[in-house]
DNA sequence: TCAAATCTAACAAGTGTTTGATAGATAAGC
DNA sequence: GCTTATCTATCAAACACTTGTTAGATTTGA
């Protein structure tokens, strides 16, 4: 892609209920009335799209694919979304926020720096390898994303990675090790786990322990 | 992609001079006659395609992109190639062969196991980060490749990675470290270097040294 | 003259997106 | 309570465009 994607012009003025707009009137409509509420429907679409983006990548996932999985026709999707790009950006931001929250939560209960690193690694593997929710492996492969959007995505990702910068800053590493490279390498492994992970033999915590084992060096 | 790509039916019976076929008559035509020889023309196309595939990925690179860079129209490309898939497979195989040769060459002159590992890492970074030749970063991102082709690509890649299996087998690692995970992680970093590498500050050999520094653990 | 290499033009299929029509539910007026 | 009117969510159909690929005509050079 890089230069041929649609150009993401201005903000949406759709008739439908695209992205951010606060609740429509007061439509959260408690789950009493039998069927899924309006808000849930949109979240459902976000999850479906997230799963497909994660499985096949942005470019290889078509609007029609998403629509079909959501049980509707392609055109109908545009009642809920502004554009494919906007959909991706929204998912990406939500996924990173959720991931950040989860990682922050697990490291909060850790005393030593190495404990924190290992807990963060375990949690990252869970996040990347469990296609359960909206916390999905889509924080790389920026090549498949139009240029203008790319900047926003990278900014959000950098924000997320600051968590690891802090964890690593607290590690008692030998002075010969460059902490920036250290962080880049570690995050690359964690973020692309779904590409190199092979089911079987070792469990996820065991693999996380292997990673930390390799990255563990005490100053001396 | 995964299931929608073209289906790579049978072997080519083109009129042109697609893939493997030995030389056409005796057409290597020494470089005396002023212009590029026929064989060189085809290699030129392979290099152009390799560069584009590396830059944008398989799916995001169109036949028309390649043709334009080669100074011709899309249809004309099919005089030289059988299909986009076959073109990719050929490039991929050639790239891996070239990379294997280069890595084998540099580790041949090394005594100690750790020396060998560092030399291999330096060379891999050079290969991945120098878009000079046909030795290009396309040994990952298999998601963007049709299923049937994927198997062949993976087989070839596994063959390449055996070099690293041997290097790692000779390392005096602590018994707690799993050499399979160790190899997978290291190769993932080296193979995706073009995605995480940022120009400036550290040179490539310095980065390679950092990587080896992190992965270096003596048994004890 | 002959073959190699390229062009033009089309194909069928797929892309993101828009438009106008329409069921089904909800609310308002009488 | 019954009939309107409004609104929500969907569909069908088209749009303009890109994709890989093929066929036949045409140029180029020896």
Least confident of A65-74, A144-153, B19-28, B106-115: B19-28
Percent of chain B with pLDDT over 90: 60
HSE-CB at A139 with a 13 A cutoff on CA atoms is 31
A195 touches chain B (CB under 8 A): yes
Residue B151: the pLDDT is 82
Residue A36: the pLDDT is 47
Average pLDDT of the residues of chain B: 82
Asked whether residue B3 carries a pLDDT value surpassing 50, the answer given is no
Element (H, E) at A106: helix A84-108
Q: Are B37 and B31 in contact (CB under 8 A)?
A: yes
With a CB cutoff of 8 Å and minimum separation 6, the contacts of B76 are B67
Question: Is any atom of nucleic acid chain D found less than 7 Å from the CB of residue B2?
Answer: no
Residue A28: the pLDDT is 38
**Rounded mean pLDDT, B23-27:** 36
**Rounded mean pLDDT, B93-121:** 95
Residue A149: the pLDDT is 76
Give pLDDT < 70 ranges for chain A.
Answer: 1-39, 131-135, 137-139, 141, 144-147
Least confident of A29-43, B12-26, B45-59, B165-179: B12-26
Q: In this structure, what are the phi and psi dihedrals at residue B180, rounded to the nearest 5 degrees?
A: -70, -50
Q: What is the dihedral of CA A155, A156, A160, A166, to 10 degrees?
A: 30
Measured distance CA(B206)–CA(A196) in Å, rounded: 25
Tell me which of B15 and A40 has the higher pLDDT. A40
Spell out the long-range contacts of B9-17 with Cβ–Cβ below 8 A and sequence spacing 24 or more: B12/B82, B12/B83, B12/B86, B14/B78, B14/B82, B16/B78, B16/B79, B16/B80, B17/B42, B17/B79, B17/B80
Residue A130: the pLDDT is 80
Structure tokens, A30:
């408690």
Residue B153: the pLDDT is 87
Measured distance CA(B78)–CA(B67) in Å, rounded: 10
Interchain proximity B60–A177, CB inside 8 Å: no
A207 touches chain B (CB under 8 A): yes
Residue A167: the pLDDT is 98
Asked whether residue B198 carries a pLDDT value surpassing 60, the answer given is yes
Nearest to B189 among A57, A189, A207 (CB): A189
pTM higher than the cut 0.80: yes
Measured distance CA(A166)–CA(A180) in Å, rounded: 11
Asked whether residue B105 carries a pLDDT value surpassing 50, the answer given is yes
Tell me which of B22 and A126 has the higher pLDDT. A126
Residue B200: the pLDDT is 87
Interchain proximity B181–A210, CB inside 8 Å: yes
Structure tokens, B176:
């707690």
Please report the DSSP string for B100-130 in residue order.
HHHHHHHHHT--SHHHHHHHHHHHHHHHHH-
Measured distance CA(B67)–CA(B73) in Å, rounded: 6
Between CA B3 and C1' C9 the distance (Å) reads 30
Which pLDDT tens digit goes with each residue over B171-188?
Answer: 999 999 999 999 999 999
Contacts of B182 in chain A (CB under 8 A): 210, 214
Contacts of B140 in chain A (CB under 8 A): 195
Residue B118: the pLDDT is 97
Asked whether residue B30 carries a pLDDT value surpassing 50, the answer given is no
């Amino acid at each position: 892609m890089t230069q041929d994607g649609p150009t993401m012009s201005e903000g949406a003025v759709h008739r439908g209920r695209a992205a951010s707009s606060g609740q429509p009137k007061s439509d959260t409509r408690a789950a009493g009335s039998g069927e899924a509420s309006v808000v849930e429907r949109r979240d459902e679409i976000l999850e479906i799209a997230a799963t497909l983006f994660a499985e096949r990548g942005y470019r290889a996932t078509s609007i029609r694919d998403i629509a079909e999985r959501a049980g509707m026709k392609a055109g109908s999707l545009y009642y809920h979304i502004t554009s494919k790009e906007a959909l991706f950006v929204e998912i990406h931001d939500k996924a990173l926020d959720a991931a950040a929250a989860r990682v922050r939560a697990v490291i909060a209960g850790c005393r030593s720096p190495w404990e924190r690193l290992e807990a963060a690694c375990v949690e990252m593997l869970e996040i990347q390898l469990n296609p359960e929710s909206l916390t999905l492996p889509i924080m790389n492969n920026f090549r498949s994303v139009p240029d203008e959007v790319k900047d926003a995505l990278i900014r959000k990702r950098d924000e997320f990675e600051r968590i690891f910068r802090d964890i690593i800053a607290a590690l008692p590493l030998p002075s010969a090790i460059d902490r920036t490279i250290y962080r880049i390498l570690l995050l690359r492994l964690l973020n692309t786990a779904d590409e190199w992970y092979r089911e079987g033999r070792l469990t996820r915590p065991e693999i996380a322990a292997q990673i930390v084992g390799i990255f563990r060096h005490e100053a001396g």
